[in-house]
Amino acid sequence: MQTYKAYKYRVVPTLEQTKKIEGTFAARRFVWNHFLERTTKAYKRRGERISMFDCFTTLTRMKEYKPWLKIYDITALRFAIKDLYEARDDFFRRVKQGEKPGYPKFKSKKNHEQSFTTDGVIYVDDECIKIPKIGRVRYRNRSGLGIKGEPVEATVSRTASGRYFISVCCKVEVEPIPAVDAQIGLDVGIKDFATDSNGLHYENPKYLAASLKKLARERRGLSRKVKGSINYEKQRLKIAKLHERIRNRRNTHHHQLSRKLVGENQVIVVEKLNIEGMKRNRKLSKAIGDAAWGEFIRQLEYKAYWSGRTLVKVPTFYPSSQTCSDCGFKNADVKNLRVRKWECPDCGATHDRDENAAKNILNKGREMLLAV
């Protein structure tokens, strides 16, 4: 089966290459901001819709009176326009669905995280990756696993801590892993990160919560520094590296657990979560963000696809916690999150809240598969 797979590495550019990368970030911001303003004004003043092709043509003409744009990779600048149109299309799509999304915003160099994408000619060897207009950039491959397949595009990014990374998207052939008979339902939560229909509970590591005291201390230190000073920048980098470490540890946890579940089960059933809606609960929003269920389910989805597994998402408002998995009785009292164990008033069965929900999710997923 042919699919796309991305390989991400940390790159170590030279001083000259760093200047070129930073220049490309700036050129991309300029192109995004220029065409965001141009398309928005054209629509508001004249009701005119400018096509993406027209923007590409305008960008080519702009190089005549803004010759500095010629220094940078044209495909990277065109990707800025493509990303802008994707953001606009997503905005209008969500408005039609009755949501209230934010309109695309202007890019600022004050944002410490920057990136650009190119689909120009990309060469990869054991030590370097050749990027158009930047040259051969050394990358770190500590895992020893090389890039497989045909490189299609590459995204160079800079994190808030000042580290540079490259993600190379390749067209590859993937082979499904041997089939198994096991099926599983997963109920995600805060007390336990997840509970499956077999009664197994997976611990929630709560990496952000464990680092809150240290983060608060470092932020107090930042507040005492003069903004714009060298010491201020040093302290800002400290905080950025701490956030990066939290994110990396969380990603490692999600990758390990998702790979384990995909390897052991042929069918995995999860809930389709409205995470943004759940975050409106101020008491739980920080814990929900720390758990990052959306990223975990995203990893389950693509790993299941690569491995020949089936991932089923049951509807958002399916009452998995309130329904007795033995007789189907719906107990509205279980809406209260403090109820961790309950007895069914109809059949007398005793349930652990999360285990019962996981069993119901699996049963609903099986019904959905049979209905297809």
pLDDT band at 304 (very low <50, low <70, confident <90, very high): very high
Q: Give 185's pLDDT tier (boundaries 50, 70, 90).
A: very high
pLDDT (0 to 100) of residue 142: 77
Q: Is 157 helix (H, G, I), strand (E, B) or coil?
A: strand
Angle between the 15-46 and 74-96 helix axes, to the nearest 10 degrees? 40
Is the pLDDT score of 297 beyond 80? yes
**Angle 171-172-178 from CA coordinates, rounded to 5°:** 150
| Lowest mean pLDDT across 52-61, 94-103, 199-208, 358-367 | 94-103
Cα gap 122→167, rounded to integer Å: 12
The Cα 128–Cα 125 span in angstroms is: 6
The conformation of residue 67, written as its DSSP 8-state character, comes to: G
Residues composing the chain: 372
Kindly name the residue from 73, 196, 271, 355 that is annotated as catalytic: 271
For the domain spanning 179-204+250-372, the CATH number is: 3.30.420
Amino acid, single-letter form, for residue 357 = A
- Rounded to the nearest integer, the mean pLDDT of the chain is 93
Annotated catalytic residue 187 = yes
* Distance from C-alpha of 40 to C-alpha of 22, rounded to nearest angstrom: 27
Residue 196: the pLDDT is 94
Max mean pLDDT among 110-124, 248-262, 277-291 falls in 248-262
User: What is the Cα–Cα distance from 29 to 114, expressed in whole angstroms?
Assistant: 9
pLDDT, residue 229, reads 95
Decide if 264 contacts 237 (C-beta within 8 A). Answer: no
Q: What is the per-residue pLDDT for 72? A: 94
Output the six-digit token pair for 173. 């052939």
State the Cα–Cα distance between residues 99 and 110, nearest whole angstrom.
29
CA distances from 306 to 201, 262, 268 (A): 26, 10, 14
Q: Would you state the pLDDT for residue 53?
A: 95
Q: In what order do the strands lie in the sheet with 201-203?
A: 201-203, 192-196, 183-188, 267-271, 310-314
The predicted-structure confidence for 76-108, as pLDDT tens digits, reads as follows: 999 999 999 999 999 999 999 888 888 999 999
Bridge partner residues of 3 (DSSP)? 172
Residues 6+ apart with CB under 8 A from 123: 129, 130, 136, 151
Mean pLDDT along residues 244-260: 96
Q: What is the DSSP string of 30-56?
A: HHHHHHHHHHHHHHHHH-----HHHHH
The two structure tokens encoding residue 10? 């940390």
Q: Span 186-211, mean pLDDT?
A: 94
Is residue 116 helix, strand or coil? strand
pLDDT at 334: 87
Give the pLDDT of residue 338: 87
Looking at residue 334, the DSSP 8-state letter turns out to be G
Residue 179 sits at φ, ψ, to 5 deg, of -70, 150
Q: Could you tell me which of 103, 79, 77 has the C-alpha nearest to residue 90?
A: 103
How far apart are alpha carbons 194 and 184 in whole angstroms?
A: 12
Residue type, 237: L
Residues 312-340 pLDDT 10s: 999 999 999 999 988 888 988 888 888 88
Kindly list the domain boundaries of the chain, sorted by start residue: 2-173, 179-204+250-372
CA distance readout (Å), 329 to 102, 232, 346: 41, 59, 7
Catalytic one among 73, 196, 290, 354?
Answer: 354
β-strands 267-271, 183-188 pairing:
parallel
Neighbours of 129 (CB within 10 A): 23
Q: Is residue 354 flagged as an active site residue? A: yes
- Active site (annotated) includes residue 295: no
Question: What one-letter code names the amino acid at 210?
Answer: A
Catalytic residue among 73, 187, 218, 355: 187
Asked if residue 160 lies in contact with residue 113, where contact means CB atoms within 8 angstroms, the answer is yes
Q: Cβ contacts of residue 111 below 8 Å, gap of 6+?
A: none
